[in-house]
């Protein structure tokens, strides 16, 4: 790795990201990331916000997610293709850029497949910290794919969740999840049905992938006092909860204009009441109203969370050295002599 100069930009590959997370430690990394996400939610009005820009196809979606706090700019490219898993590919992949608003130069390129799983889990755990019952210890995870272990680890790190009840329509996924999490101090129950998984759960995480209006949770599966962390319903026509649950829940969302298009609440009227998560975090709105209330975090993933994650990794990558410099920005000796730089390169190549 060389020292970063004007024309080179740090690039954090998948390999770098793994080394970085492992060097810091999975739980400390998630805790630090959650702190950064929470701090950025607290200064929500400072961010430039818009719905993400989707490109839908019959089989999935590709999205761009930009935001800025006036000093830094970030965006993520992310896809969601539930059919990918059967073809040996990830359902969700991503990469992102952090840039300097002052001069527009990129500051970092990063893989964001791992980072999305980490930031989604950290955001879910931040929401639950503010919304779930304080004595929550047991979480059901329905959908035991790529995101699931990250969710479990973030809820352990932030909430002290130590009992997991796992269910997936594919028992191979549940066994993979159980084995991956076996060394982390959880008591794990593999369940045969979603109904069995939610028995006695204080928190229910739904994190399935299916491009349709699915009903992972029926109305009678959400008992009083439960917190629902609904992660998998994140695109038009792609939901996980029965509408009746929404009608009985206090609903918390990231950015309402985006969630009304993509979240569980696409099943409700356009003016259905919701509370913005940042308001609860900033102490401007009430979270859980009673021990018997059902709270629902209708997670779809918002650009500020990726911004927080990129900024967090930018600091850590420079501290740990887990990056390489890419020759990404043309840097002629005289800024207006871009063409001359090309001609000089031609001469050098011909002389070689």
Positions marked active-site = 234
Does 217 sit near ligand NAD (CB under 6 A)?
no
Q: Is the dihedral of CA 17, 18, 24, 26 positive or negative?
A: positive
Does 234 sit near ligand NAD (CB under 6 A)?
yes
**By CB under 6 A, what part of segment 86-105 binds ligand NAD?**
91-92
Does 239 sit near ligand NAD (CB under 6 A)?
no
Strands (E), the chain: 8-12, 53-56, 61-68, 72-80, 94-100, 106-111, 138-142, 163-167, 187-190, 203-206, 213-217, 227-230, 239-241, 249-253, 275-276, 294-298, 324-327
Q: Give the C-alpha distances (Å, rounded to integers) separating 345 from 120, 323, 339, 348.
A: 45, 27, 10, 5
Task: Give residue number: closest CB to ligand NAD.
Answer: 145
- Given the rule CB under 6 A, which of 14-22, 136-144, 179-187, 309-317 is the region that contacts ligand NAD? 136-144
Residue 111 pairs in a beta bridge with 95
Render the burial of 38-61: b for 16+ CB within 10 Å, e for the rest.
Answer: bebbeebeebebebbebeeeeebb
- Given the rule CB under 6 A, which of 9-17, 131-139, 169-177, 315-323 is the region that contacts ligand NAD? 169-177
- Contact criterion met (CB below 8 Å) for 72 and 315: no
The nearer residue to ligand NAD, 82 or 287, going by C-beta atoms, is 82
The nearer residue to ligand NAD, 20 or 231, going by C-beta atoms, is 231
Does 298 sit near ligand NAD (CB under 6 A)?
no
Does 306 sit near ligand NAD (CB under 6 A)?
no
Does 261 sit near ligand NAD (CB under 6 A)?
no
The nearer residue to ligand NAD, 9 or 152, going by C-beta atoms, is 152
Q: Which residues bind ligand NAD (CB under 6 A)?
A: 80, 82, 85, 91-92, 116, 120, 142-148, 168-170, 173, 207-210, 214, 216, 231-232, 234, 299-301
């Amino acid at each position: 790795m060389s020292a970063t100069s004007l024309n080179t930009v740090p690039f954090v590959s998948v390999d770098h990201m793994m080394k970085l997370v492992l060097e810091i430690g999975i739980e400390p990394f998630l805790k630090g990331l959650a702190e950064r996400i929470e701090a950025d939610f607290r200064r929500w009005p400072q961010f430039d916000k818009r719905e993400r820009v989707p490109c839908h196809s019959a089989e999935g979606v590709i999205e761009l997610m930009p935001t800025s706090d006036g000093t830094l700019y970030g965006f993520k490219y992310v896809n969601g293709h539930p059919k990918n898993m059967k073809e040996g590919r990830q359902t969700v992949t991503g990469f992102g850029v952090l840039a300097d608003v002052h001069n527009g130069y990129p500051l970092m390129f990063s893989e964001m497949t791992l980072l999305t799983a980490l930031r989604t889990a950290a955001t879910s755990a931040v929401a639950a910290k503010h919304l779930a019952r304080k004595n929550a210890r047991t979480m059901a995870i329905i959908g035991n794919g790529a995101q699931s272990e990250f969710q479990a680890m973030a809820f352990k790190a932030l909430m002290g969740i130590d009992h997991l009840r796992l269910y997936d329509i594919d028992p191979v996924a549940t066994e993979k999840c159980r084995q991956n999490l076996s060394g982390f101090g959880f008591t794990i129950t593999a369940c045969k049905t979603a109904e069995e998984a939610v028995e006695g759960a204080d928190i229910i995480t739904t994190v399935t992938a299916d491009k349709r209006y699915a009903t992972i949770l029926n109305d009678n599966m959400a008992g009083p006092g439960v917190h629902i962390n609904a992660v998998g319903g994140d695109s038009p026509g792609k939901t996980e909860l029965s509408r009746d649950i929404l009608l009985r829940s206090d609903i918390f969302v990231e950015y309402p204009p985006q969630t009304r298009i993509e979240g569980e609440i696409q099943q409700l009227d356009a003016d259905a009441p919701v509370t913005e998560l940042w308001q609860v975090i900033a102490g401007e709105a009430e979270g859980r109203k009673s021990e018997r209330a059902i709270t629902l975090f209708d997670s779809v993933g918002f650009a500020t969370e990726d911004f927080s994650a990129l900024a967090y990794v930018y600091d850590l990558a420079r501290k740990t050295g887990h990056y390489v410099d890419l020759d990404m920005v043309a840097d002629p000796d005289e800024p207006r002599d871009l063409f001359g730089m090309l001609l000089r390169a031609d001469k050098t190549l011909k002389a070689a």
